[in-house]
A and B are shown apart, each in its own frame.
Chain A
Amino acid sequence: MPTIQLDNLIKRYGEVEVLHGIELEMADNEFTVLVGPSGCGKSTTLRMVAGLEDVTEGEIYVDGKPVSHLEPKDRDLAMVFQDYALYPHMNVAQNISFALRLARRPKAEVHAKVKEVADMVGLTDFLHRKPGALSGGQRQRVAMARALAKDSGIFLFDEPLSNLDAKLRGQLRAELALMSQRVEKNMIYVTHDQIEAMTLADRIVVMHGGYIQQQGSPEALFKRPVNKFVAGFLGMPPMNFLNGEIKEEAGDVFVKGNGFSLRLQDEKAQAAKAHRVREVVLGVRPSDLVFDAEAPSDQALTLDVMVSEYVGAQSVLLCQCGADQVTVEMNSETPMALGQTLRFRITPNRVHLFDRESEDAIQSK
């Protein structure tokens, strides 16, 4: 399957530049997810790869060959759209086989292919229905079957699950993950939903404001975000941010802020020392705060519990730390009452530090 390379891709609409030089390389059989808030340029990037948008500057290479001058149909790709984009006047079988029929493949082959992919996505009983007589989930399955039937090397998804309700979305997400293991294709998937990104991707590309913020495996991005945006975007509930200042006392390095004073350890302490910036933002994920009344005060946050949101096995606590809000994720079985002031230990080395001005992460190289 082909490799895809985006080389300094720029997109302008008139005077407005929406993509500022996207550099990206996608290896064989890789599931790449472009994720970011709306307007970050992820869909535009995908549509440029598809050939639905013109490239203003830069080049797209597939297997080393430039393709940006080619029509979509000559790029060896298939695409699944957010609104399914089915042909309303054709039944399911005709929708799936449209590309094959245009290519004038023999009837028997078309028939076999339709049966194969319909089996794969569980549509065998609906082949003679029109899209109007299908539910949302079924329609998106037809769209996937249609893309699969094309047998192209590149598979593009433009927010395929966004129009579905939460339960269906989870179900189809699992099916997609399964499918991506079974078919050997290069997949590019655009979404604004960080859970989809985390669960599906081999590689996540976080975009914001027309720039790539960071790319890498889901784990790498979750554990070592390079800036405050990536840190806040991935993870649910989102990371807590508290303003603080780096202070050195008796050889130890502290982050001090309104209502907390935290002693940094090992690598973090060295990075903070080396960075020479006083004004920082402390980042702590809600899951890295553990209720522990006995925790030493320089390894913990003391929080006033304001609201408790019960979500089943876990509860999300909204707490107050000085003037700032902090969320904590904890086991619902833990007994506690609203209005209490509790101490939460921070899991060692799970704190993140960001330069307050540039918002870049402060970490050892």
Chain B
Amino acid sequence: MRIAVANRLTPYLFMAPAVVIMAIALMYPLGYMIWGSFRDWSPSQTIGEAEFVGLKNYVTLWGDPNFWESLSVTLTFAFFVVTLEMLIGVGLALLLDRNIRGMSVLRTLFILPMMIAPVVVGLMWRYMYHPTVGTFNRMLDSLGLPTVDWLGNHALMSVIIADIWQWTPFIFILALAALQSLPRSALEAARIDGATAWQQIWHIKLPLMMPVLIVTGLLRLIDAFKVLEVILVMTEGGPGLSTEILALRISRTATEFRELGVAAAMSNYLLILLLALTLAMFAFTRLQEARAARIRAAVEEES
């Protein structure tokens, strides 16, 4: 009897450390943030001293054009980044899915950008974008072309380019893995059926890769909403509000404007957005699993 109880409790015992860490490092700050978002709270006060204001912070944000500007920058950034990264990453994977000498070296080179610390990426690109001594403008100049004011007039485009450089490899390796797990014989059958290289991609490869691509895209989308370091280092959100993504605005609201409650409320808006995306992803995989299970059941019933 005692042993049976002990046996039943063992798994919980093993899980306990993780639960404790989660509680301290995740649930506590999260609860703190939600609690704080209902208060008019400055950094000089403890949370107990701050005045409870209900939903005021949320309402204020709803009417704040700067918040909306920031949200739209985030959405624009995320949309372009994910779309272009998907196109380039999948395209590269389709091109490089073959046995060429030195392919493994090439693949490793391709995924290097992903391994560099974001702050370093930001510094590197800031240097390359520098209006006079930057790599790009010097190159344009030496070719006799007009220079571009990268981090000035075209700041959002420039940070998008930098992000694409850094994160396309992520999509590339996942797409390549998906490609290489496709059934070889189905592709051979398609060749015999008369499909050209393009038709094989369009009718066979892409549809079969789709489940992986959808999950990959959602993962990137969630990440793109949370991007901070690279942009912080490159532009600090400027010029004006042109590259001030939500994460950056949150940190500025907390530190520069000293409005912790508003910053917390903004964080919660972002959290809700990300939660919706995550749920969409879970729903998608669930749907897939359910469909597979249904088909299996149907087949078993017949045989």
Contacts and interface: CB of A to CB of B under 8 A. Distances in A.
A201 interface: no
B191 A72 contact: yes
Provide the main secondary structure of the chain B interface.
helix
B4 interface: no
Interface string B165-207: 0000000000000000001011011111111100100011001
Contacts of B188: 50, 52, 72, 79, 81, 85
Given A73-B195, A102-B199, A135 B295 contact: no
Interface in A120-147: 130, 132-135, 143, 146
Contact of A83 (B183, B193, B302): B183
20 contacts: A50-B188, A51-B191, A52-B188, A73-B191, A73-B192, A73-B194, A73-B195, A79-B188, A83-B183, A85-B183, A86-B186, A87-B189, A98-B190, A102-B194, A102-B195, A132-B292, A132-B299, A133-B299, A134-B299, A135-B299
Given A86-B186, A89-B208, A135-B302, A78 B192 contact: yes
A71 interface: yes
Interface in A54-81: 71-73, 77-79, 81
A285 interface: no
Contacts of B143: none
B298 interface: yes
Given A83-B183, A133-B295, A134-B299, A88 B192 contact: no
Interface in B282-303: 292, 295, 298-299, 302-303
B56 to A, nearest CB: 52
Contacts, number: 73
Q: What band does the interface of chain B fall in when counting residues whose beta carbon is under 8 Å from A? A: 20 to 34
Contacts of A88: 183, 186, 208
A133 B298 contact: yes
B192 A77 contact: yes
Contact of B189 (A85, A130, A134): A85
Contacts of A73: 191-196
Contacts of A146: 189, 193
Contacts of B191: 51-52, 71-73
Nearest to A52: B188
Contacts of A306: none
A164 interface: no
A133 B300 CA distance: 9
Nearest to A98: B193
Given A81-B185, A133-B298, A133-B299, A87 B204 contact: yes
Given A89-B207, A102-B203, 17 more contacts: A71-B191, A72-B188, A73-B193, A73-B196, A81-B189, A82-B185, A84-B185, A86-B189, A87-B189, A87-B190, A87-B203, A98-B190, A98-B203, A99-B194, A130-B295, A133-B298, A135-B303
